[in-house]
């Protein structure tokens, strides 16, 4: 389980590159960028099937296709819709409720037990994310953006549901994500043709950024996440997912696209403490036991 949890966390680390690579990809519209990068993500899965171990044949229930395609394509569709109809800061924060929903929703999963430290860790992570996204500023939820806020909430529900329900079908091999990526690429292309003007990457640098997106944050990350949520500690993964916006900010600082601030330091402390709480369910009970034995 520890190994699977660590593999799942590599997805969070790869998602930290999303902001940097997206910015470097130029003015490519969202759905077109999604279509291209998910096509590359499909190639990642095909390469793994070609050169890696062959998974044992498994009958795939129809609902798995609905969960997988609805999760990958649905999340991106509603997220882009939210950004078109609400301010990015508020929409992003609402959408980023999904780690907390994963932690709380895990209590409904067979064989899982939700502890106070899982919830506390996720809440601390959420507070750290608020600091990162708002840069210490305030939030302004206005009624005229209600539709956009609702779309962002759908994002959070969709991705948390996808992650939790994937665990219910742990026998389905991770290679199935290949076809989820392929379907998402096709559906994104349809949305692009219907809703956007075509703007392709300009120059080798922007194409390399798009390639990087498809190989990691929109490629390998989804395979790692699938493996992690199916076989790892899903409460720890949910709480640790709040590290993504922090790591993303640190990457931007390291590459000169952002400046270090007290907000980043505060967010780092909140998210780190939250991750420790979520990852160490017996931390305080073990300490109390040790103190009791010492007193005796």
DSSP class of residue 16 equals T
pLDDT at 280: 65
- Count of structural domains within the chain: 1
d(CA 210, CA 134): 27
Mean pLDDT value across residues 116-143: 82
pLDDT at 281: 55
Please tell me which residue, 19 or 196, carries the higher pLDDT value. Answer: 196
| pLDDT interval class at 285 (50, 70, 90) | very low
Q: Closest Cα partner for 12 from 263, 247, 267? A: 247
Question: Domain range for residue 89?
Answer: 2-295
Distances in Å between the Cα of 141 and the Cα atoms of 88, 89, 138, 147, 239 are: 11, 10, 10, 12, 25
In the predicted model, is pLDDT for residue 132 greater than 90?
Answer: no
What confidence tens digit (pLDDT) does each residue in 179-219 have?
999 999 999 999 999 999 999 999 999 999 999 999 999 99
pLDDT at 131: 85
Lowest mean pLDDT among 23-27, 52-56, 217-221: 52-56
Do 60 and 173 touch, CB atoms closer than 8 A? no
The angle formed by the CA atoms of residues 167, 168 and 173, to the nearest 5 degrees, is 65
- Percentage of residues of the chain with pLDDT beyond 90: 53
Query: Which burial class, exposed, middle or buried, applies to 291 when counting CB atoms under 10 A from its CB (0-12, 13-18, 19+)?
Result: exposed
In the predicted model, is pLDDT for residue 150 greater than 70?
Answer: yes
Query: Which burial class, exposed, middle or buried, applies to 110 when counting CB atoms under 10 A from its CB (0-12, 13-18, 19+)?
Result: exposed
Mean pLDDT value across residues 264-292: 64
In the predicted model, is pLDDT for residue 155 greater than 90?
Answer: yes
What confidence tens digit (pLDDT) does each residue in 229-241 have?
999 998 889 888 8
pTM: 0.86
């Amino acid at each position: 389980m520890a190994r699977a949890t660590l593999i799942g966390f590599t997805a969070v680390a790869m998602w930290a590159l999303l902001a940097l690579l997206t910015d470097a990809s130029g003015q490519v519209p969202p759905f077109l960028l999604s279509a291209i990068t998910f096509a590359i993500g499909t190639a990642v899965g095909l390469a793994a099937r070609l050169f890696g171990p062959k998974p044992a044949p498994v009958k795939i229930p129809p609902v798995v296709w609905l969960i997988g395609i609805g999760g990958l394509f649905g999340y991106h569709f509603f997220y882009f819709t939210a950004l078109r109809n609400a301010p990015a800061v508020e929409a992003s924060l609402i959408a980023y409720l999904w780690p907390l929903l994963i932690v709380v929703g895990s209590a409904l999963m067979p064989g899982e037990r939700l502890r106070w430290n899982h919830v506390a860790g996720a809440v601390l992570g959420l507070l750290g994310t608020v600091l990162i996204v708002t840069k210490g500023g305030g939030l302004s939820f206005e009624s005229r953006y209600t539709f956009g806020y609702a779309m962002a909430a759908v994002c959070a529900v969709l991705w948390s549901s996808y992650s939790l329900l994937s665990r219910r079908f742990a026998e389905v091999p991770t290679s199935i994500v290949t076809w989820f990526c392929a379907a998402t690429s096709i559906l994104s292309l349809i949305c692009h043709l219907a809703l956007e003007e075509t703007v392709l990457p300009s120059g080798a640098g922007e194409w390399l950024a798009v390639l990087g997106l498809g190989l990691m944050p929109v490629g390998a990350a989804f395979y790692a996440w699938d493996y992690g949520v199916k076989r790892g500690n899903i409460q720890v993964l949910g709480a640790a997912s709040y590290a993504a916006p922090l790591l993303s900010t640190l990457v931007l600082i390291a590459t000169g696209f952002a400046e270090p601030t007290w907000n980043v330091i505060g967010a780092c402390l909140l998210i780190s403490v939250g991750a420790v709480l979520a990852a160490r369910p017996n931390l305080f009970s073990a300490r109390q036991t040790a103190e009791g034995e010492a007193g005796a």
